[in-house]
Amino acid sequence: MSNLGNLAEIVDEAARNATAVPQLTIDAPDLTPDDGYAIQAMAMARRLSRGERRVGMKMGLTSRAKMIQVNVEEVIWGRLTDGMRVEEGGFASMADYVHPRVEPEIAFLMGAPLSGNVSAVEAMNAVEAVAPAMEIIDSRYKDFKFTWADVVADNCSSSGFVIGNWCAPDTDIANAGMVMEIDGQARQIGSSAAILGHPVRSLVAAARMVAQWGESLEPGYIVMAGGATAAEPLAAGMSVRNNVQGLGAVSFQVEA
């Protein structure tokens, strides 16, 4: 257990200082995904003890494009804090990251608690609003390379998120076109249907997966459904925008 605590300190310090570290599984090849979740929980406790506040969770690797890009074929989840939020239309700073990437997502705002095995209808009934979103992911591992256990320990590369305007929960998100532009040029084009066939399935999976770790999706939580396309590397000076059919656009800029 204390060993997992040491590993939590390594990934937490790497995130805090925006410095790359070797994959944990190089020195600890037997690390399991469950160990990864235990490490993630301990690393999150360290963040919260520094004054950050929990605001939700993110699902990861919910589309084929994402699984292929990072070579891990498992749906994963991580925790979001207020410190990760980038204001809509605001700035993200390269200084806060190691090698950040951005991906187009859809976000849910929970209106009621949700946990355990639920149907898609039950999941949507707990949703207060949906929004166009982007996630800034930043693996703390060298070369953005990791195993399933590594990435889970590293809070699933969570480092930033941007949320656009909240829309009514009955807005059709089944097959919404998504175009992510950098400096006005379309760089990733996809559909919300790439997210497990329908983003609500990501929410259903989220409720089930957090319950395994004694958690619930709480009212007011933001839940990120996962990237619909592969992620794009960020660099200072970029202007990034995700246009989601029926939901509107969300944008931010990158500064040094």
Assess 104 for contact with ligand OOG (CB under 6 A): no
For tokens 């939020």, name the residue: 85
Q: Does 140 bind ligand OOG (CB under 6 A)?
A: no
Angstrom distance (rounded) from CA 179 to CA 166: 18
Q: Check the CA dihedral 82-102-11-79 and report its sign.
A: positive
Residue 63 Cβ, how far from ligand OOG at the closest point, in Å?
7
Q: Which of residues 96-155 bind Mg ion (CB under 5 A)?
A: 135
What does each C-alpha distance from 209 to 27, 88, 204 come to in angstroms?
Answer: 27, 29, 9
CB of 112 to ligand OOG, least distance (A): 24
Question: By beta-carbon distance, which residue lies closest to ligand OOG?
Answer: 60
How far apart are alpha carbons 70 and 230 in whole angstroms? 9
Q: Which of 4, 15, 21, 70 binds ligand OOG (CB under 6 A)?
A: 70
Rounded distance between C-alpha atoms, residue 160 and residue 231, angstroms? 13
Instruction: Specify the residue, 27 or 82, whose C-beta has the smaller distance to Mg ion.
Output: 82
| Sequence letter at residue 161 | F
The Cα 87–Cα 102 span in angstroms is 15
Identify which of residues 4 and 180 has a Cβ nearer to Mg ion in the complex.
180
Residues near ligand OOG (CB under 6 A):
58, 60-62, 66, 70, 103, 135, 137, 139, 151, 156-157, 226-227
| Binding region for Mg ion (CB under 5 A) | 135, 227
